[in-house]
Structures are given as C-alpha cells and as structure tokens.
A and B are shown apart, each in its own frame.
Chain A
Amino acid sequence: MDEILIGGLLALMVVTVWGILRTRNLFAVVVLGGIYSFLTATVMVALDAVDVAMTEAAVGAGVSTVLLLGALYLCRSEEARPMHKPWGAMALSATVTLALFHGTVGLPGFNDPQAPIHQHVAPRYLNEMKQEVDVPNVVTAVLASYRGYDTLGETTVVFTAGAGVVALLRRRKRKGKDKA
C-alpha cells in the first residue's frame, strides 16, 4: 500500500519536472517548482520523515518560491530558445545516472529491516536516547545534540547565505556604477 502511494506521488513529481523542462515561461516554471516541492513534502510524510517534510514545505515550497518570484520580478525575462542541440548534456547526465544505477543494484532494497542503516548507529538513537537526552522527537535529539555540530554548520551556512546576499545586493551609496 505504502509503495503504491509513494510510487504514484513520485510519478507525479517526474511529470512536474517534465513540465519544468518543457516550458519556457519562467513564471510557470516557478509555480511548477512550488508544486514539485509540495509533492516532495507529501512523499516525505509518506516516508515517515515528518520533520523533513515540514521543512521542505516551509523552505522548499515557501521560501524558495518566494525568492524565485522576487528574482523573476527583478529580471522580467522569458527563457530564450536553446541555441544548440543538448546532446552533450544528455550524454553527461545519462552517464551520471547510469553510474548511480550501477551502484544501487547492490544496495539493500526498500523496507529491509536487516539493512546496515537499521543495524548500526541508529539503534542507539532510538533505544538509549530516552535515558541520555530524553526528548520524544528523536530527530530533534539527533539534530540538536548527537549531531549538534552539523547543525551549527548548517546554521552557519544559512548565515553565510544571508551575509552573502547583503554583500551582493546592498545598494551602493554612490549613484555611478563602478562596473567595467
């Protein structure tokens, strides 16, 4: 049952991406991107990743879409017709995809409780966390405590982006542009 639901949603996502690929109206692209993010979030709920789903809905569908719309407003542009045939790009992305396909064949499949990820490291988070940290949401415990340093890095990434946008978009005090 789960497989059918998730598979159907994933198929819808592929269709959305196909739409993004085909359309040259950038506004439509951005809206399709928002739909894509919401579908992603829904699949994540089906995969029991509720925290991730919430973040994807807020960040992927919300913030990203707003940012894209803002940039689109500032650029006001329609995508030009591609000038060259995309065979090179096609070949490259096909190679990468095939490499990944090659690699995943030996991996544990969907819903395999014997897979290494369910046997090593994660069991401690699920079984001992109650004594060690004692917050019901295991994701919060791992995020903020066990792997809290990653989250510090992640917060710093967000800060870097913020300060970077300030550096790039803060208006010059002088009117004249000192661009070459």
Chain B
Amino acid sequence: MNLAAYFTYIATFVLMFLGLFIVMARGNLIKKLVGLGIFQTSVYFLYLGPAKLVGGTAPILSDAFKVYTNPLPHVLMLTAIVVGVATLALGLALVVRLREAYGSIEEDDILAQDQASAGATEAA
C-alpha cells in the first residue's frame, strides 16, 4: 500500500481517535464539547482529501484553468461545519444552565448529585 496516497486518511484516523477519546474519557462538560468538535472535524478530511486533484485549482471557473478540484465535497462539508457550530452553541447553552443548576460542570459531580436526590425521593 502506498502510504503517501493515504496520508489524508491517516490524519483522519489520528484526529478521530483523539477526538473520540476526549469526548468519552474526559468528565468536564466543556472539554467534552471541544473533543466532539475535533471528532467532527476529522470527518472533513475524509471528504476533502480525495476531492483534491494536484495541478487543479479551486472550483471557481475561469478560462485560465482546465482542471478543478471536486466541488461537491466542499458543499457537504460547509454544511457539516455549520451543523457543528450549531451543536456547539446548544451544548454550551446547556452547560451554562447545568452550571447554574448544579454548581459544577464535571460529569461525576452532577451524577453524584442526581444519585443523592434520587435516593432522597425514594426514601420519601
């Protein structure tokens, strides 16, 4: 296998691994969202890498060029970026509310508080 032909894929793997790991292993709610963002970003290269043609140019038509990079993945990834920031905004709004309700943005703290209050209602 020609490694050089697959380097964008390899970057995707590494970024994806790290992003997913941050989401799952870290307990801080903001850091989880940052990890989620990295995980989403890794996908961009899965789409954009193969779209590029060396010697081609950005898909803005002009008489000076013959070869263009494939525009369709660009359109799809524009959508993905916007979806990503929309998710982030909602996630952060939730984090702000969580912090007001629980006084913490650590997953373990919140779960512990929930467990305590669940125990209280059951005893009642």
Contacts and interface: CB of A to CB of B under 8 A. Distances in A.
Interface of A: 2-3, 6-7, 10, 13-14, 17-18, 20-21, 26, 29-30, 33, 36-37, 40, 43-44, 47-52, 55-56, 59-60, 63-64, 67-68, 70-72, 74-75, 77, 79-80, 82-83, 86, 88-90, 92-94, 96-97, 100-101, 104-105, 107-113, 115, 117-118, 121-122, 125-126, 129-130, 136-139, 142-143, 147, 150-151, 153-154, 157-158, 160-162, 164-165, 168-169, 179-180
Contacts of A101: 9, 13
Contacts of B88: 64, 67-68
Contact of B8 (A10, A94, A125): A10
6 A-B pairs with the lowest CB-CB distances in the bound complex, closest first: A109-B5, A86-B25, A161-B86, A89-B24, A93-B20, A89-B25
Interface in B1-20: 1-2, 4-9, 11-20
Main SS at interface, chain B: helix
Given A77-B28, A161-B86, A168-B94, A10 B6 contact: no
A60 B31 contact: no
A79 B26 contact: yes
Contacts, number: 279
A104 B48 contact: no
A150 B74 CA distance: 13
A161 B78 CA distance: 16
Interface residues of B, number: 86
Given A80-B108, A168-B93, A136 B61 contact: yes
A71 B95 contact: yes
A139 B101 contact: no
Interface of B: 1-2, 4-9, 11-22, 24-28, 30-31, 33-35, 37-38, 41, 44-46, 48-54, 56-62, 68-79, 81-90, 92-97, 99, 101, 104-106, 108-109, 117
Contacts of B52: 2, 47-49, 110-111
A49 B53 CA distance: 11
Given A14-B18, A129-B61, A143-B75, 14 more contacts: A20-B35, A29-B34, A49-B74, A49-B77, A55-B78, A60-B84, A79-B28, A79-B106, A80-B109, A93-B20, A125-B72, A150-B76, A158-B86, A164-B89
Contacts of B79: 150-151, 153-154
Main SS at interface, chain A: helix
Contacts of B45: 10, 43
A96 B2 CA distance: 23
